[in-house]
Structure 1
């Protein structure tokens, strides 16, 4: 999975987060770009919604993917079915929840044809293609996540991971998993430290719009300045 952030749609958020001292420190220490728009991949820095010290929604820079000694790869996804029980995720599930706003996310899946008469085996043997998937009727897709702080390069770095669930709705025809997508009205309830995450999960959105993805340059020309 990867994400897409369109600079025009999220200009206000991007301008704000790029000015933060934390973002500049992370960029220097981790050797990562602060563009934070275009296509984003694991380990990139992204703008993330999380509670400030007053419990209100605020924007923060975070790096994508928890780290763990068991694997050299970042842990970019967490299954919502086990987030409240596995030691790696449990504390964040109850105390540190966040939301990643994106224009859409990418997923590799099987192509869909009108009047498809293929068998399941034939369907699964088809070459996968890249889809761009977003909340139906919205320019911004609010993806639920968890975060924590990790020691990297001598600083406490906020890291996030995306929660995934069993695919629902039309996404089931593409892939067996999908991110946990929230309605905008549920963002505050999700990130509130004393909230009930299990109740919000029951309200997750399933109506997604998708199309075959367009390949963009890794970092497209900027259209906004910080």
Structure 2
């Protein structure tokens, strides 16, 4: 699962600054009343800096909104299971033609502390307060979340919207949750976003060595007009 991730401005400043300067960012801000911060805690319906192919098919930075909107639900679709991405109508076209990468510092997951699992049965575990954990690939400063995107019309403009792909989790994440984002290595980014690439084969190269620790509460970045 991925319902919340953190974008630390310092290591991601080049990417975030580039996205904030694009005319599309201002258009999305005006049309959807979304701030263009793109750093700190990023939640569903927030704007984020995302890698996707430009008109020449090369990797470029774009502002996107997190979550596909669908008539059947009042909540956006923020995650897509990789096992059915090539089958379900809402995802199929994006799976084959519109793939993206969301640069983050880490993502969050909530679960029963692993130290408590072996000492309680399933019913007892439900009553234990879940803790928030920060998760990222071992030895990585940037966590590259694999995603899909599409364009939706909002207030008369075409807005790119993204969703994060998820897969079966691996240890230590599997100790607290059965799903996790599909996380790519830096060497796979260009192949992933390439429209004529083979997503299934690239997904097999996803990173599996994760580190997990109890999350801290990081301060939200100040709006631009408050920064000195």
Fold match by TM threshold 0.5: yes
SS of aligned partner of 1:190: helix
After TM superposition, give the deviation of residue 84 of structure 1 in Å: 0.1
CA contact (8 A) 1:7 1:222 kept: no
| Count of aligned residue pairs for this structure pair | 222
CA contact (8 A) 1:3 1:104 kept: yes
- Distance, in Å, in 2 between the alignment partners of 1:203 and 1:215 is 32
1:23 is matched with which residue? 25
2:94 is matched with which residue? 92
- Cα displacement string for residues 82-127 of structure 1 (whole angstroms, at most 9, x for unaligned residues): 000000000000000000000001111111229x642452445432
2:39 is matched with which residue? 37
Distance 1:193 1:32, change over 3 A: same
SS of aligned partner of 1:162: strand
SS of aligned partner of 1:81: helix
Which 4+ runs in 1 deviate beyond 6 A?
A: none
After TM superposition, give the deviation of residue 53 of structure 1 in Å: 1.2
- Structure with the higher fraction of residues in helix conformation: 2
- Distance, in Å, in 1 between the alignment partners of 2:174 and 2:125 is 13
1:103 is matched with which residue? 105
SS of aligned partner of 1:175: coil
Instruction: Write the mapping of 1:54-65 to structure 2, written as runs, cut at 5 A.
Output: 54-65=56-67
TM-score, length of structure 2 as denominator length: 0.93
- Structure with the higher fraction of residues in strand conformation: 1
After TM superposition, give the deviation of residue 206 of structure 1 in Å: 1.3
TM-score, length of structure 1 as denominator length: 0.94
1:3 is matched with which residue? 5
- Distance, in Å, in 2 between the alignment partners of 1:69 and 1:222 is 33
- Distance, in Å, in 2 between the alignment partners of 1:15 and 1:103 is 16
- Cα displacement string for residues 112-154 of structure 1 (whole angstroms, at most 9, x for unaligned residues): 229x642452445432111111111011000000000001111
1:196 is matched with which residue? 198
- Distance, in Å, in 1 between the alignment partners of 2:82 and 2:121 is 27
Distance 1:58 1:108, change over 3 A: same
1:221 is matched with which residue? 222
After TM superposition, give the deviation of residue 59 of structure 1 in Å: 0.4
- Distance, in Å, in 2 between the alignment partners of 1:4 and 1:139 is 12
Aligned-residue CA RMSD (Å) = 1.6
Tell me, which stretches of 5 or more residues in structure 1 are unaligned?
A: none
1:14 is matched with which residue? 16
